[in-house]
Amino acid sequence: MLKKLLLFLIVSASAVGWFNRPHQLSVGPVIIDIEIVDTAAKRIQGLSNRTSLADQSGMLFIFPQPGRHSFWMKDMNFPLDFIWIRSGRVVQISTNVPATQPAVTLTPDSLVDQVLEIPAGFIDKNGIKVGDEVRRR
């Protein structure tokens, strides 16, 4: 009976997220808490209309196919850094992209399969560079 109760509690706790850890990504030696963006609807919304992003956090956009995926800073309230990723490596960086009107549009120079948006200044502060390895944790 006790085993069944414990099993029920563990399954219930997992269902409501008590044991769910945040997603994390390492870029070189830096660990970042991330939100995963892997659907068209989530990509359209992105960070639009948010007021901030925590210092050690970011939003990871995952694309089904590599491409020169453009990002539009529409309805952004704060500047961002962008890490452009292909096959688990940083291939390009964009720093201090302003939240201005009219909205800025960014497109990478080469094909990417993931893009990480992080608070402006993060790349310089943490010494992230092209060629750094990127891994989900």
What per-residue confidence (pLDDT) applies to 12?
45
pLDDT of 3 reads 52
pLDDT recorded at residue 2:
52
Closest CA to 118 of 72, 79, 64: 79
Per-residue pLDDT of the chain in tens (137 residues, 90 and over written 9): 655 544 444 444 444 444 456 799 999 999 999 999 998 888 878 888 788 888 899 999 999 999 999 998 888 889 999 999 999 999 999 999 998 777 789 999 999 999 999 999 999 999 999 999 999 98
Q: What is the pLDDT of residue 5?
A: 40
Alpha carbon of 71 to those of 10, 100, 116: distances in Å?
41, 14, 11
For the structural domain made of 22-136, what CATH number should be given? Answer: 2.60.120.1140
CA-wise closest residue to 83 among 112, 44, 48: 112
What does the domain layout of the chain look like in residue ranges?
22-136
Question: What is the pLDDT, as a whole number, of residue 53?
Answer: 87
Q: Which two tokens stand for residue 37?
A: 């963006």
Question: pTM here?
Answer: 0.81
